[in-house]
Amino acid sequence: MLINYSSDWSNGEINISPENIKALWIPDVIIHDLVSFTKPEILTEVAALEIYQNKHVYYKIRSDITIVCRAMQFGQFPLDSHKCYFLLSSFGYDDTRMVLRGKFSYDKTNQRALSFNVDLMDLPPERTLFAGASSNYSMYGFEINLSRSLGPFILSVYLPSAMFVMMSWVSFFIPPDVVPARIVLLVTLCLVLINMFNSTTTRIPVSNTVTALEVWLLACMLLVFLSLLEYAVILRQIVLYRRKREKDGENAYYNGTGTSSYTTINYAPSTNKSSPVRYFAAATETDPCLSLDQIDNGLFERKKKTTSRKKKRRTNSLIKKAPKRIRSDEERLTKFKNTLDRGAFLLFPLLFVLFNSIYWTLYLTVIITRKQGAFQGSD
């Protein structure tokens, strides 16, 4: 191709038709991990060919490129960050015959809203050379750092689930005897967290491990479930107390504190002198077979009076002791309920604070540090 030096070089360059690129030598540049490469066209191809006086040639083309970001791990979702590389190299010319150099710019203000924060950096020195089977090849490109925006997840998942956990602590102030209020509160919170877990997992990227978001929601569900379990223990103690009272009431009834079941004898002298029976017996509940001698001698009546006095003494003793025992059982039950609720109110917030400190420390510092070390090792 011949260039007319009489052209206007006032700008230090001349622009010619991009179709003339076919008359020039074109390097065999490849893009690593390429998925698609498209060149938009309006009337003609959106491109430009510039030739400078120092004999440098610049070919500019508008293109849309899609590449694969390798080794993306979503175990820390939504606290994850990734490193991707845009790499160019020659397919057939080694670094002794072709060296790739360039420069790039990135304006964040023109970037559309993404779920990641994007930052572009120069390639590390070890990435500027590709070691082939028999030769080394020059490489050029840039490093893409992706860190997921945490704000939407804090507003939609973390804060609501944390509020639901704290709402479960309100149940410790509700009297245990108010069963509907406490049960409805805890069961509703459990169902809401389960629904949130199901709806959130549909948006989680595919991962071979449990993600950080799933760990958070499972922990919140566990804390609310433990609050429900704590109330179940209280209800169990109340049921056992009521069963004991019913059993004590039945024992008291059969021991004489209930309706009497013994026989009374009503007797009167007979007006018939010739009758061998001067007394008659009338049983109110049972009709025992008694001999005439026992009736005449009054043995049964004396035995009846003695038995009646013993039962009265035993009945009075049970009546005096029963209220004390009932009050003692009620006091123990009330103390158990108050102690358990008070202990749960102190323990559950402490567990939640401890879990938060471990969770955020682990996912924001420890795992990120290990991941950076793994990236440096792979480089």
Residue type, 248: D
Q: In what side-by-side order are the strands of the sheet with 13-16?
A: 13-16, 47-52, 57-61
pLDDT tens readout for residues 240-249: 988 888 887 6
This prediction's pTM: 0.72
* Three-class SS state of 49: strand
- Give dist(CA 172, CA 346) in Å, integer: 10
Looking at residue 53, its pLDDT comes to 81
* Among 292, 307, 298, CA closest to 262: 307
Looking at residue 269, its pLDDT comes to 46
Same-domain status, 346 and 239: yes
For 41, the token pair is 């066209």
Looking at residue 14, its pLDDT comes to 82
Looking at residue 376, its pLDDT comes to 53
* Three-class SS state of 129: strand
* Among 264, 275, 276, 270, CA closest to 300: 264
* Among 129, 140, 58, 136, CA closest to 102: 140
DSSP E strands in 191-313: the ranges are none
- Give dist(CA 32, CA 373) in Å, integer: 24
**Within-domain flag for 323:** no
Same-domain status, 170 and 239: yes
Q: Which of 45, 68, 91 is the last residue of a domain?
A: 68
Same-domain status, 156 and 224: yes
Same-domain status, 355 and 227: yes
- Give dist(CA 223, CA 348) in Å, integer: 7
**Within-domain flag for 307:** no
Listed as ranges, residues in the chain with pLDDT below 50 are 257-300, 318-319, 374-375, 377-379
Question: How remote is the C-alpha of 143 from its chain's centroid?
Answer: 35
**Within-domain flag for 349:** yes
**Cβ–Cβ < 8 Å for 128, 141:** no
**Within-domain flag for 305:** no
Same-domain status, 2 and 119: no
Same-domain status, 86 and 37: no
pLDDT tens readout for residues 55-106: 888 898 999 999 999 888 898 999 998 999 999 999 989 999 999 998 899 9
Q: Do the strands 57-61 and 29-31 form a parallel or antiparallel pair, or are they unpaired?
A: unpaired
CATH of the domain at 205: 1.20.58.390
Looking at residue 19, its pLDDT comes to 85
- Give dist(CA 13, CA 16) in Å, integer: 10
Cis peptide before 160 (omega within 30 of 0): no
Same-domain status, 165 and 238: yes
Q: Which of 297, 322, 357 is the last residue of a domain?
A: 297
Looking at residue 160, its pLDDT comes to 96
Same-domain status, 170 and 237: yes
* Three-class SS state of 339: helix
Q: Which domain holds residue 112?
A: 70-149
Looking at residue 224, its pLDDT comes to 97
Q: CB-based contacts of 165: which residues, under 8 Å, 6+ apart?
A: 220, 223, 224, 352
Buried b or exposed e, range 102-141, using 16+ CB within 10 angstroms: eeeeeeeeeeeeeeeeeeeeebeeebbebeeeeeebbbbb
**Within-domain flag for 303:** no
- Give dist(CA 250, CA 29) in Å, integer: 96
Write out the H or E segment, with its range, that includes residue 83: strand 81-90
**Within-domain flag for 250:** no
* Residue owning tokens 């397919």: 91
The tally of domains found in the chain comes to: 4
Give me the residues paired with residue 37 across strands.
Answer: 65
Same-domain status, 186 and 197: yes
Same-domain status, 158 and 232: yes
CA angle 114, 115, 119 (to 5 degrees): 70
CA angle 146, 66, 72 (to 5 degrees): 40
**Cβ–Cβ < 8 Å for 128, 139:** yes
Q: Which of 122, 149, 176 is the last residue of a domain?
A: 149
**Within-domain flag for 319:** no
Same-domain status, 218 and 140: no
**Within-domain flag for 312:** no
Describe the crossing of helices 212-252 and 159-168 by its angle, rounded to 10 degrees: 10
Looking at residue 244, its pLDDT comes to 85
Same-domain status, 353 and 228: yes
DSSP 136: E
- Give dist(CA 375, CA 182) in Å, integer: 51
